[in-house]
Amino acid sequence: MQDFAKILSGLHQDESGQDLIEYALIAALIAFAAIAGMNYVATEINNAFSKIGSKLSNAIS
């Protein structure tokens, strides 16, 4: 029974996996922000090309 108590006590004090979880959460937050930012950038690029296309069409005709 004392061995089991020592194992449980060791697991309670072991925090080596905590850093991995924190890094995973940070990576997920960065990925989410990048995806959200890319959607905005893609929309703005699409709008810019649409404006350029319409100006070229007006200049040709």
DSSP conformation letters of the chain: -HHHHHHHHHHHH--HHHHHHHHHHHHHHHHHHHHHHHHHHHHHHHHHHHHHHHHHHHHH-
- In-domain check, residue 46: yes
- In-domain check, residue 8: no
User: What is the structure's pLDDT at 34?
Assistant: 94
User: What is the structure's pLDDT at 17?
Assistant: 64
Question: Could you tell me the residue range of the domain that residue 52 belongs to?
Answer: 17-60
- In-domain check, residue 12: no
User: In the chain, how many domains are there?
Assistant: 1
- In-domain check, residue 26: yes
pLDDT tens, N- to C-terminus, the chain (61 residues): 667 777 667 666 656 667 778 889 999 999 999 999 999 999 999 999 999 999 999 998 7
User: What is the structure's pLDDT at 5?
Assistant: 73
